[in-house]
Structure 1
Amino acid sequence: MNKKELYQKKLQAEFDQLSAEIDKLKAKAELAQADAQLDYYNEIEKLRSMRDEAKSKLTEFNNASDDAWEDFKEGMDSALKTLGNSLKSVTSKFK
């Protein structure tokens, strides 16, 4: 396995974990009181938008040639880090 393939697996695992955390947050929102649900859903929608952007970058990364994939690495890392930080912030807000 080359560096790109190893990195793809790492990125996909991280993306899948963040997506699962968003799904857990949605389940928690469904159990919340009606007034809190609106806040939850607004935050979840923002997270989903960020997740979709990260997924788009992941697709670009996966389609990049073996010579060009490192050009996408920084953007991909940044997108996942931003999504992760936002998810932590939202999760702590609704504890």
Structure 2
Amino acid sequence: MELQDAYKKKLAAQLKEWGAQIDLLEAKMENVGADIKVKHAREIQELRAKQRAASEKMEELANAGGEAWEQVKGKAETIWDDLKTGIASAHEKLK
């Protein structure tokens, strides 16, 4: 159980960090032209949706145990990787 708790804490901290990074991206959007803002607004919305999905998976992890926990963990890692890639890509585009 300690391993699961540590894993959940790690994911929670990472999710919080990514939320801050998405906030930073939104702040950068305020300083760009209207055409770029429109182009990247959809990307920010998609990142927020992925962030919500990751948060929902965290709740599932909190309630899962045994084999179910391993299955949810695998799905959570996929969502995490997708969110991580999306954030990195958005940062590159807004440099």
Please, what TM-score do these two structures have when normalized by structure 2? Answer: 0.90
| Conserved 8 A contact 2:28-2:94 | no
Give distance in 2, aligned partners of 1:30 and 1:40.
Answer: 11
| Conserved 8 A contact 1:26-1:40 | no
Instruction: Please say if 1:60 is aligned against 2:60.
Output: yes
| Conserved 8 A contact 2:43-2:90 | yes
Q: Alpha-carbon deviation of 1:40?
A: 2.2
Aligned position for 1:30: 30
| Conserved 8 A contact 1:22-1:47 | yes
Give distance in 1, aligned partners of 2:91 and 2:60.
Answer: 29
Query: Match of 2:30, SS?
Result: helix
Give distance in 2, aligned partners of 1:85 and 1:17.
Answer: 14
Instruction: Please say if 1:83 is aligned against 2:93.
Output: no
Q: Runs in 1 of length 4+ with deviation above 6 angstroms? A: none
CA RMSD of aligned residues (A): 1.3
Listed as ranges, the gaps of 5+ residues in structure 1 are none
Give distance in 2, aligned partners of 1:70 and 1:4.
Answer: 10
| Conserved 8 A contact 1:47-1:83 | yes
User: Partner letter of residue 79 of structure 2?
Assistant: A
Please, what TM-score do these two structures have when normalized by structure 1? Answer: 0.90
Q: How many residues align?
A: 94
Q: Alpha-carbon deviation of 1:47?
A: 0.7
Q: Alpha-carbon deviation of 1:32?
A: 1.2
